Amino acid sequence: MSLKAIGAKIFAKRIRKKIDKWASNPVKTQEQVFKSLINKSKHTVFGKDHDFQNIKTYSDFAKNVPIRDYEELKVYVNRVIEGEKDILWPGKPLYFAKTSGTTSGAKYIPLTKDSMPTHIKAARNAILCYIAETGKANFVDGKMIFLQGSPEMGEKNGILLGRLSGIVAHYVPKYLQKNRMPSWKTNCMEDWEKKVDAIVEETIDQNMAVISGIPPWVQMYFEKLQQRTNKKIGELFKEFELFIYGGVNFEPYKKTFEKLIGRKVAGIELYPASEGFFAFQDKQSKKGMLLQLDSGIFYEFVKADEFFEENPKRLTIGEVEKGINYVILVSTNAGLWAYNVGDTVQFTSVSPYRVIVSGRIKHFISAFGEHVIGKEVDEAIRIGAEKTGAIINDFTVAPQVNPKDKKLPYHEWFIEFREIPKDIEVLTLEIENSLRRQNSYYNDLIEGKILETLKITIIPKDGFKNYMKSIGKLGGQNKLPRLSNDRKIADALTTMIDK
């Protein structure tokens, strides 16, 4: 074992103890974060507008600061973009993380000198927790690849601007620089397909030990490697030990990855966002990701089925329960306040607090009152694939409200297969039954003959990739929505199939 690996093991144990300390005192930890955020921001424009000077308790905060999404916070963000200081957080941000909004167009999320280190520390600690738990550290001597957006930056009134994954690329520790791939030149390429081809060239004969990225884009990289070498990824990269991923639920991709790799590889799930690094998988043996309670983020939660009420009840960490679908709100040391990230989460544990991402509050199907969420369709397709041997590349679901044959409406599942099952009808039935077991509203609509059984539309190979490319969202941090409550994506896919 190298000196670097030995050092990593010692450091990992120390960090694990620190994590356990705050994780075992969640309410106190969050109270300290809350007080610090309010105190530091009382003299900002936002702090003055919301009377932070007189906020002494969380109850005061909830009364003074309403829930906002990006569009509602934009009046303040625009002033930051224009170069004003002390608006949402003291001073000016270091960066803007540019993201693609579905309704707001481009969004500019501030990253400050206080918030930026928490992103880096959480990513580092995720790996250290793996080392502390397993005792495995030899992979630190191997090559590591992070499939991410371009690190090239723009500028807005003196503030650097880029994609979060590209900004983070500037913070890779010096001791990992020699191990890191791809090259800076390749990482700066904007054309995703050309970039992946270049990454294949650079890594095909390397000792890759750690591979990280959003599953559908890592899958593309693996497929290109396999096409070039006719080898399983685990055979090509004999030292490949750790797959680090986030952004989407990995379960629908699991079988495809197992087939591409050819052997089991440990995984670490992350929950990073431009608004903050919220959670990471800290235990291989436990379901869910440890919520980062000491990272300059104060969390609130609203039950998803109450979220659209006029004054939904806001809960703090000590009030949440396992298995309930919550909308997650954050107040951060980047100057976001009671901010609706757009995600829904469920707690898998409350000692310590671990979460899974269950979907997006705006990504659901409720065209008929069924309110089907991402977690339910992920689970349904996992069971369907398991029972039928199907291997699925990707999928999305939309309602069909006005069928041409004038029969009952239904949910249409667009699925791209790596391996099509022998009997599509059996897969349809397994998915349908799983969804009905999970969602009583959907079950009632089927039993009441309001809805017909779901229908599967097969998407040809690379169909989803071509769709994402057609809308300028191929690669990087972009993800295909699992659910839509309208036919925008469905109609575009149907048009592509019919051509």
263-296 pLDDT, tens digit each: 999 999 999 999 999 999 999 999 999 999 999 9
| Least confident stretch, 335-339, 341-345, 401-405 | 401-405
Q: Is the pLDDT of residue 353 over 90?
A: yes
Percent of the chain with pLDDT over 90: 67
Confidence category of residue 100, pLDDT binned at 50, 70, 90: low
Contact 213, 245 (CB under 8 A): yes
Confidence of residue 35 (pLDDT cuts 50, 70, 90): very high
The pLDDT > 70 percentage for the chain reads 98
Q: What is the model's pLDDT at position 478?
A: 76
Q: 208-225, pLDDT tens digit by residue?
A: 999 999 888 898 899 999
pLDDT of residue 106: 81
- Enumerate residues 6+ apart whose C-beta is below 8 A from 127: 242, 244, 268
Q: Which of 106-120, 152-166, 185-199, 355-369 has the highest mean pLDDT?
A: 106-120
Instruction: Give the C-alpha separation, 369 to 287, whole Å.
Output: 30
pLDDT digits (tens, 9 = 90+) for 372-388: 888 889 999 999 999 99
The reported pLDDT for the residue numbered 484 is 87
User: With 80 as the cut, is the pLDDT of residue 472 above it?
Assistant: yes
- Amino acid in position 440: S
Examine the pLDDT at 162 and tell me if it is beyond 70.
Answer: yes
Please say whether the beta carbons of 357 and 334 come within 8 A.
no
Average pLDDT over residues 477-483: 82
Q: Check if the beta carbon of residue 138 is closer than 8 Å to that of residue 319.
A: no
pLDDT of residue 6: 92
Confidence tier at 103 by pLDDT (50, 70, 90): very low
Q: How many residues can be counted in the chain?
A: 499
Which pLDDT belongs to residue 113? 96
Section 303-325 average pLDDT: 92
- Confidence at 370, pLDDT banded by 50, 70, 90: confident
pLDDT at 309: 85
As to burial, measured by CB atoms within 10 angstroms (0-12 exposed, 13-18 middle, 19+ buried), residue 137 is: buried
Tell me: pLDDT of 201 over 50.
Answer: yes
Encode pLDDT of 188-200 as tens digits: 888 888 999 999 9
Q: How confident is the model at residue 102 (pLDDT cuts 50, 70, 90)?
A: very low
What is the tens place of the pLDDT at every residue in 7-29?
999 999 999 999 999 999 999 99
pLDDT computed for residue 101 by the predictor: 52
Mean pLDDT along residues 337-359? 94
Q: What is the pLDDT of residues 236-266, one digit of tens each?
A: 999 999 999 988 788 888 888 999 999 999 9
The pLDDT of 354-361, averaged and rounded, is 88
Mean pLDDT of the chain: 91
Q: What is the pTM of this model?
A: 0.84
pLDDT at 159: 93
